[in-house]
Amino acid sequence: MATENKNLSEYEIGNIPNGADFRIGIVVSEWNNDITSNLLKGALEALTENGVLRENILVKNVPGTFELPLGCQYLLEHDEELDGVIAIGCVIQGETKHFDFVCQGATKGIMDVTLEYNTPISFCVLTDNTKQQSIDRSGGKHGNKGIECAVSLLKMIGLQEELN
């Protein structure tokens, strides 16, 4: 496993664009809330640590991971000043193909919204085989993917601004 015994949430703050002028949307799945709330906490900490003002962060909930793409689209339509969005969800493998359909639909949907709106959307969706793997990646031994996705979003917003 690529992340075994590694905390991937460590980063150098000097390598991240300052987000003082950024407006960020976050869409969070209510399904597996014990996991997604930890991912949200990590994302908020990383954003504010890198200069994003808390009042410039709009957080909205959706029922599940499958609803994340439409939630992102709603945010971008509601607030045209958003520089980027983080989509937070968690899907844990079960006994049926439902896992595959939800993961594929959310992935494709988020990419479609990203390209349609030409706005960075950071994919913070855990797709793990077990609950323990999700715990390990939402503040456990492998760090917090919420932090990583916030850093990724800031870098993509920075790149977009640099090229415009």
Catalytic residues: 98
Tokens 């969005």 found at: 85
**What is the DSSP secondary-structure string of 106-164?**
HHHHHHHHHHHHT--EEEEEEEESSHHHHHHTEEETTEEHHHHHHHHHHHHHHHHHHH-
Dihedral sign (CA 63, 98, 132, 151): negative
**Distance between the two ends of the chain, CA-based, in angstroms?**
38
13 neighbors 47 (Cβ within 8 angstroms):
no
123 neighbors 82 (Cβ within 8 angstroms):
no
